């Protein structure tokens, strides 16, 4: 199943409206994400914890998630470097 997911990432990376970044294991982390979150716009962030999912709608709280997202983006690699990481992971699957 992992092979299919990695192949799919390689395929969707060619979409013109998608920017796929990967934070490498050895990346200098300016922030360590405490929880998984998805930003949809400047009005909604969904936060996932081990036991629940909740919506964040307060502008000042959304601003904190936007800052966290910017820090994660700064640690990520894109384009050829990201594709190389995915191909390396595929090669590691044998």
pTM of the model: 0.76
Query: Distance between CA 56 and CA 46 in Å, rounded?
Result: 6
pLDDT band at residue 86 using 50, 70 and 90 as cut-offs: very high
Query: Distance between CA 71 and CA 75 in Å, rounded?
Result: 7
**36-78: pLDDT as tens digits:** 899 988 899 999 988 999 999 999 999 999 999 998 899 899 9
Query: Distance between CA 8 and CA 58 in Å, rounded?
Result: 34
CB-based burial label for 47 (10 Å; 0-12, 13-18, 19+)? middle
């Amino acid at each position: 199943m992992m092979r299919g997911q990695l192949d799919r990432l390689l395929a969707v990376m060619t979409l013109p409206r998608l920017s796929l970044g990967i934070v490498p294991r050895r990346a200098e982390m300016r922030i360590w994400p405490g929880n998984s979150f998805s930003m949809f716009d400047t009005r909604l962030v969904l936060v996932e914890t081990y036991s629940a999912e909740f919506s964040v709608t307060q502008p000042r709280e959304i601003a904190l998630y936007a800052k966290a997202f910017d820090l994660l983006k700064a640690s990520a690699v894109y384009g050829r470097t990201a594709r190389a990481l995915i191909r390396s992971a595929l090669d590691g699957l044998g």
